[in-house]
Amino acid sequence: MADQKVNILLVEDNPYHAELTLKALTMHHLNENFVWVKNGEDATDFIFCRGAFASRSIENAPKVVFLDLKLPKKSGLDVLKEIKTDERTKSIPVVILSTSREEKDIIEGNNLGMNGYVVKPDDFEKFSEAIKNIGYYWLVLNQLPKK
């Protein structure tokens, strides 16, 4: 993959949820430079420019990561931990998107330095609204430090 600019990195193993997320972003014109990876391994490879993503540069970080927690191979919390414990990547905003409100996940995510925890509403309209709000906040309103 070329070293293209990335706005949102979506880490999601459920292809239907990935598609719905992209549809919701598209509806609100937030889909530019959107990248989807299906598991935790690919997510950290992408962030740290390893394996299939070796040609990327680590400075070219996504503006925000949407991270599912229940992932194959490497869990969402493990991905979060890797991102947040590395000096080069810890400023990348990571928002957890989960199907459920799990107190222990919220606490652990918080301790690891997550930037948000959002429960995916099971009604699409509400889901789409939530995706719009998160995307708008992190892509448009939020200011990140210059590298």
Partner 1 sequence: MQSQETNLQALYEKLLESEEKYRRFVENAADIIYRTDGEGRFIYVNPVGKRIFGYSESEFIGKHYLELFHPDFRNKARQFYATQFFGGQYSSYLEFPAVTKEGKQFWLGQNVQPLMENGQIMGFQAVARDITDRVIAEEEVQKLNAELELRVAERTIQLENANKELEAFSHSVSHDLRAPLLAINGFTQFLSMHLGEKLDDEGKRLLSVIKTNTQTMQHLVSSLLMLSKTNKKELETVTIDMTALAQATYKEIASPEAQQKIILTISPLPQANGDQMLLRQVWSNLLSNAIKFTLAKDECAIVVGGRIEENKNIYFIKDSGAGFDMKDAGKLFGVFSRLHTDDEFEGTGIGLSIVRRVIHRHRGEVWAEGEVGKGATFYFSLPKE
Question: Using CB under 8 A as the criterion, which residues of the chain lie in contact with partner 1 when the complex forms?
Answer: 14, 16-17, 20, 23, 99-100, 120-125, 127
Q: How many CA atoms lie within 13 A of 139 on its CB side?
A: 22
What amino acid is encoded at 80 in this protein? L
Is 2 in a helix, a strand, or coil? coil
- Whose Cβ is closer to partner 1: residue 87's or residue 125's? 125
Q: CB 87 → partner 1: shortest distance, Å?
A: 35
Task: Give the separation between CA 7 and CA 147, rounded to whole angstroms.
Answer: 16
Least spacing, CB of residue 26 vs partner 1, in Å: 11
The helices-and-strands tally (H runs, E runs) of the chain is: 5, 5
Select 50 or 70, whichever has its Cβ closest to partner 1. Answer: 70
Q: State which residue, 59 or 123, has the beta carbon closest to partner 1.
A: 123
Buried b (16+ CB within 10 A) or exposed e, 105-130: beeebeebebbbbbebeeeeeebbeb
Residue number, 60 or 124, with CB nearest to partner 1: 124
> Shortest Cβ distance from residue 122 to partner 1 (Å)?
5
Q: Rounded to the nearest whole angstrom, what is the least distance from the CB of residue 69 to partner 1 in the complex?
A: 11
